[in-house]
């Protein structure tokens, strides 16, 4: 059982308990445990199997006490949890969908379930249409309308936006609000600012003498479908595509406190406020207070300084390791886009790319890269017109000829060699041995069982000619789940054979993800960040990969292609 599966069980329990009106802090304990386990780089499976006293060892994890430790042990050993089974018997699974409707929380959902026997979204819609909801105590006509609107979004817009798409929306809205009278400053906050791979909604923070002009302008945005709420300082709108945008307007001397607060994460803020409380301080979005007296708030630096903390970069504000790093004075100096000097995974018109070799070289050089590897597909990827040995060798000749026309950039003869369904690689060793750079990847047989897929990748790692595994989990955000692979085993093998693992910078892939990257770093496995570009424009994806790497706490030293190519080669040779 993977950490994510265990985390999912605890999330389900939290949902069900909340629905039943359990103590809110008990619910939070389950949610907190789910988050910590999901973020953990240590496989709990292994902890339980490899320990004399698993319960004691599990309790060392922050947020896991005796009770949850025992539940984890039960889950790992039996694959199930009696408590969850019991809860599921009491509450139909379909009921939980109701909790996802904006405007409905556990209390109202429970009332609907108890009084009107609403068990699904369809039941809920019917009850609203028949005006039975407005008759309930605590409900009314407006609540009924809110629920109907919420149903639309619950049914249609359940997907999170890719960060790269959110970035486009952010720029468009900033532009739209530019020049609003009295608007001094406008900054994005929330998970967008933290660089999460997907974004649920957009948060903007503004400094303005009068909030109304900015709110009016936002309401007039052509994509705004609905104003959900509007008060003195806060406004929420929904765009046509379903995305919610929040705008908060604060005075200048509260800007730092508010930016810190609305950037989150929620868990990071909970820790922060707990620390403040210990010192007799209170932090809210308006500032830091000792009693009635405000002692900070204009900048984020000021706010953190009241707790003797550094101003954490937004990407690591996740209540994972940042507070521990700060305590030890060992905050990593995060990687930056400017550190990247090479790109070791890209395609051309020889297979499924849209640009020629020369066009890719020129574009890479224009971006300031010192070296690139052309890594077109191998023959198994027929859909992409993959190369067999003869075509590959010929392609390499073309690469050499094209590269000769450029000065100041090294162009490597590479290949993205398929890891075949039955195991083994798509090209023979004598071909691969002639390449400057080989990435191996899984494209077929993605639904195979865990042992099988893992074995295929381990075998590829053993091959002396393979340099890196590309997009190691195969996921496509919002589209395809990662295939079943034992990443711990992959890390072990990569470490043993001195191989690299890729962080694919395509905004839809971004695997390894932040948690996995952090785990790889902990084992000293070098990460190579690659665009996997299929076009000239695709080379620009590097920044998305860098953002993900920053979330993992990676520094320039942790990433292979921040180094000169001759140093990368040295690393490949193990010297």
Partner DNA sequence: GCCGTTTTCGGCCCGACTGTTTTCAGTCG
Interacting residues toward DNA by CB under 7 A: 23, 25-26, 28-30, 33, 59, 62-69, 101-109, 134, 137-144, 146, 190, 201, 203, 229-234, 244, 246, 262, 266, 269-270, 273-274, 276-278, 282-286
Q: Do β-strands 198-199 and 224-230 pair in parallel, antiparallel, or remain unpaired?
A: unpaired
Q: Which is nearer to DNA, 38 or 445 (CB)?
A: 38
Q: How far apart are the first and last CA of the chain?
A: 38
Distance separating alpha carbons of residues 95 and 15, to the nearest angstrom: 10
The encoded tokens of residue 447 equal 């639904």
CB 235 within 8 A of CB 227: yes
Q: Which is nearer to DNA, 109 or 525 (CB)?
A: 109
What gap in Å lies between CA 88 and CA 91, rounded to an integer? 5
Both tokens of 343, joined, read 């790109």
Kindly tell me which of 286 and 406 has the beta carbon lying closer to DNA: 286
DSSP bridge pairs for 208: 183
What is the distance between the alpha carbons of residues 378 and 438, in angstroms, rounded to a whole number?
Answer: 11
Q: Is 305 exposed, middle or buried (0-12, 13-18, 19+ CB in 10 A)?
A: middle
33 or 392: CB nearest DNA: 33
Q: Which two tokens stand for residue 172?
A: 């468009």
For DNA, give the closer residue by CB, 67 or 394: 67
Q: Give helix 66-78 / helix 3-19 axis angle, nearest 10°.
A: 120
Q: Which is nearer to DNA, 28 or 556 (CB)?
A: 28
Q: Which is nearer to DNA, 308 or 557 (CB)?
A: 308
> CA dihedral defined by 326, 330, 334, 339, rounded to 10 degrees?
160
CB of 5 to DNA, least distance (A): 18
**For tokens 């942790």, what's the residue?**
558
Kindly state the smallest distance separating residue 515's Cβ from DNA, in Å.
20
Q: Hey, what are 323's tokens?
A: 């507070």
Query: At 289, which helix (H) or strand (E)?
Result: strand 287-290
Exposed / middle / buried, residue 28 (Cβ in 10 Å: 0-12, 13-18, 19+): middle
- For DNA, the closer of residues 53 and 232 by Cβ is 232
CB of 106 to DNA, least distance (A): 5
Q: What is the DSSP string of 54-96?
A: HHHHHTTSTT--HHHHHHHHHHHHHS--HHHHHHHHHS-GGGH
Q: For tokens 């970035």, what's the residue?
A: 167
Closest to DNA by CB, 131 or 481: 131
User: For DNA, which is the closer residue by CB, 50 or 140?
Assistant: 140
Q: Smallest distance from the beta carbon of 503 to DNA, in angstroms?
A: 28
Q: How far is the CB of 225 from DNA (least distance, A)?
A: 16
* C-alpha 366: how far from chain center: 29
Closest approach, Cβ 118 to DNA, in A, equals 13
Cβ atoms < 10 Å from Cβ of 200: 15
Q: What is the nearest approach in angstroms of DNA to the Cβ of residue 87?
A: 11
Residue 257: strand pairing partners: none
Are 347 and 376 contacting, i.e. CB atoms less than 8 angstroms apart? yes
Nearer to DNA, 302 or 467 (CB): 302
CB 457 within 8 A of CB 484: no
Comparing CB distances to DNA, the nearer of 56 and 77 is 56
Rounded to a whole number of angstroms, the minimum distance from the CB of residue 68 to DNA is 3
Least Å distance, CB 280 to DNA, is 7
Q: How far is the CB of 397 from DNA (least distance, A)?
A: 56
Distance CA 517, CA 502 (A): 9
**Min dist. Cβ of residue 10 to DNA (A):** 10
Give the Cα separation of 449 and 457 in Å (integer): 13
């Amino acid at each position: 059982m993977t950490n994510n599966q265990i985390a999912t069980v605890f999330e389900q329990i939290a949902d069900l308990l909340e629905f039943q009106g359990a103590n809110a802090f008990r619910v939070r304990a389950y949610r907190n445990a789910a988050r910590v386990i999901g973020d953990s780089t240590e496989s709990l499976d292994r902890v339980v199997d490899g320990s004399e006293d698993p319960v004691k060892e599990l309790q060392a994890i922050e947020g896991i006490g005796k009770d949850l430790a025992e539940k984890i042990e039960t889950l790992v050993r039996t694959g199930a949890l009696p408590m969850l089974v019991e809860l599921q018997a009491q509450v139909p699974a379909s009921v939980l969908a109701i909790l996802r409707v904006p405007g409905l929380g556990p209390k109202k959902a429970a009332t609907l379930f108890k009084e009107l026997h609403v068990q699904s979204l369809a039941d809920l819609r019917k009850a609203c249409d028949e005006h039975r909801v407005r008759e309930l105590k605590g409900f009314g006509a407006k609540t009924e309308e809110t629920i109907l609107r919420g149903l639309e979004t619950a049914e249609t817009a359940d997907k999170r936006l890719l960060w790269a798409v959110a970035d486009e929306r952010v720029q468009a809205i900033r532009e739209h609000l530019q020049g609003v009278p009295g608007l001094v400053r406008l900054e994005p906050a929330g998970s967008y600012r933290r660089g999460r791979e997907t974004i649920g909604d957009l948060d903007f923070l503004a400094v303005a003498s009068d909030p109304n002009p900015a709110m009016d302008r936002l309401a007039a945005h052509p994509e705004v479908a609905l104003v959900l709420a509007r008060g003195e300082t806060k406004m929420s709108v929904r765009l046509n595509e379903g995305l919610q945008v929040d705008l908060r307007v604060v005075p200048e001397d509260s800007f730092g406190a508010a930016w810190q607060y609305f950037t989150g994460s929620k868990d990071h803020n909970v820790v922060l406020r707990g620390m403040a409380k210990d010192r007799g301080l209170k932090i809210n979005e308006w500032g830091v207070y000792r009693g009635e007296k405000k002692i900070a708030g204009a900048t984020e630096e000021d706010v953190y300084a009241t707790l003797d903390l550094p101003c954490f970069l937004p990407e690591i504000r996740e209540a994972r390791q940042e507070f521990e790093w700060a305590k030890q004075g060992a905050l990593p100096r995060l990687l930056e886009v400017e550190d990247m000097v090479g790109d070791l995974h890209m395609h051309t018109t020889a297979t499924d790319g849209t640009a020629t070799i020369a066009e890719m070289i020129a574009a890479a050089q224009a971006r300031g890269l010192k070296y690139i590897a052309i890594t077109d597909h191998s023959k198994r990827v027929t859909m992409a017109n993959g190369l067999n040995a003869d075509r590959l060798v010929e392609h390499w000749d073309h690469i050499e000829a094209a590269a000769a026309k450029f000065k100041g950039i090294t162009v490597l003869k590479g290949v993205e060699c398929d890891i075949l369904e039955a195991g083994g690689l798509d090209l023979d060793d004598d071909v691969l041995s002639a390449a400057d750079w080989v990435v191996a990847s899984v494209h077929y047989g993605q639904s195979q069982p865990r042992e099988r897929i893992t074995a295929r990748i381990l075998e590829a790692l053993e091959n002396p000619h393979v340099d890196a595994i590309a997009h190691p989990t195969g996921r496509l955000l919002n589209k395809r789940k990662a295939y079943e692979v034992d990443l711990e085993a992959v890390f072990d093998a990569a470490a043993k054979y001195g191989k690299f693992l890729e962080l694919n910078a395509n905004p839809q892939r971004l695997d390894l993800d932040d948690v996995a990257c952090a785990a790889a770093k902990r084992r000293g496995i070098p990460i190579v960040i690659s665009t996997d570009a299929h076009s000239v424009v695709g080379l620009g994806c590097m920044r998305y990969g860098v953002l993900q790497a920053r979330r993992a706490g990676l520094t320039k030293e942790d990433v292979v292609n921040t180094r000169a190519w001759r140093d990368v080669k040295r690393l490949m040779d193990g010297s």
